[in-house]
Amino acid sequence: MLPVNKWSCLVTGAGGFLGQRIVRLLLEEEQELEEIRLLDKVFSPQLLLEFSELKHKTKVTVLQGDILDEELLHSACQGVTAVIHSASIIDTGLWRKKDIIMNVNMKGTQLLLEACIAADVPIFLYTSSVEVAGPNSYMKSVRNGHEDDLLESKWNNAYPYSKKLAEKAVLAADGQLLRNGTILHTCSLRPVYIYGEGSIFLQYEINCALKNDKTFARKSEGSMANQVYVDNVAWAHILALRTLRDPEKAQSIGGHFYYITDDTPPQSYSDFNYEVSKEWGFKLGSKIGIPITLLYWAAFILEMISFMLSPILIYEPPFNCHLITLTNSVFTLSYKKAKEDLGYEPRVSWLEAKKKTSQWIGTLVAKNRENLKIKAP
């Protein structure tokens, strides 16, 4: 048993882009945190060193392993007060890694949930995704959408489908009576596109632009979406966890999901990439000449070809209907409910987030310049 008011937490995906931010905040902000267990397949030595320097009085236990390892999960959950499940595989493909994505995102969540119930863990906080909600059509606009709209993705692509099923399992488990007489309370956070220093997706876009004379391909015209800074998403997890740890408040948010955005101005993904990198000479390409409708139907035909070939060959189309919809829709959401129920307010302003992200992009530009010098004859 832990001392009175002392508690412990297991964080999955603790070595990842978001997970490591959550861990940092837990170590910095939660003075009564007795132990934090970090579970992931890979941890960098630098990250482990940083965690050890931040830990203060908190015991840090590193558990390197797979989310599908049932024995590991049951061991990791023993004696834990709360679980933050942020481990996930993110992908926009049609067939690529489909089985792996379904296993990790859906089955892994179910196994972790079962391990929590077996170990009488009363709090389960799930990192979901905006793609659980949509967008479903580039022709239908959603502006300042909120939780009461009950938006739900129609896509069967592995990532949105696996996250949707996993979230439903987590929220359905809320209110379950555990063997020790306590009640399990669950909650889900749905962050939008997460950016910031270390984002592999933003790094990919920067690297592509560097190979194209610092020019971003303009992938959408007239679209609008939310982007959220990674530290603000991590802060939302801390606040949600605090709310779940309060017996009275936990009942009001248990079984609910919350959209997590911040004050980053909604814009197209292409415009966003340009906005955070223009300081380093990046620019936007010319406007798209191909109508979106034509692109969508081309994607549909490629998907049909892929489906017909699937019995004998796995063909991954270069783009698909879900990706075209995702990058060409007007789909913005509000964090009003998270503010009301969780007390969430962005900790990092848009200007500060843009500055930090831009400085990081500057290091990528410098690294690319050095690599070119090394390759030069």
Pairing of β 185-191 and β 123-127: parallel
The one catalytic residue in 138, 159, 258, 344 is 159
Phi, psi of 120 (to 5 degrees): 60, 40
Residue 36 to residue 52: CA distance in whole angstroms: 11
CA 280 to chain centre: 27
Beta carbons of 94 and 316 less than 8 angstroms apart:
yes
**How many angstroms separate the CA atoms of 184 and 175, rounded?**
5
The pair phi, psi for residue 375, each rounded to 5°, is -80, -20
Q: Give me the numbers of helices (H) and strands (E) for the chain, helices first please.
A: 14, 14
Quote the CA–CA distance of 155 and 167 in Å, as a whole number: 15
> CA-CA-CA-CA torsion for 228, 234, 239, 243, nearest 10 degrees?
110
Active-site residue 274, yes or no? no
| CA 156, 136, 205, 320 torsion-angle sign | positive
Identify whether 247 is preceded by a cis peptide bond (ω within 30 of 0).
Answer: no
Q: What would you measure as the largest C-alpha separation in the chain, in angstroms? A: 71
| Tokens standing for residue 104 | 């990790």
Angle 9-133-220 (CA atoms, 0-180°, nearest 5)? 115
CA distances from 375 to 87, 164, 218, 341, 370 (A): 37, 45, 29, 54, 9
Q: Which residues are catalytic?
A: 159
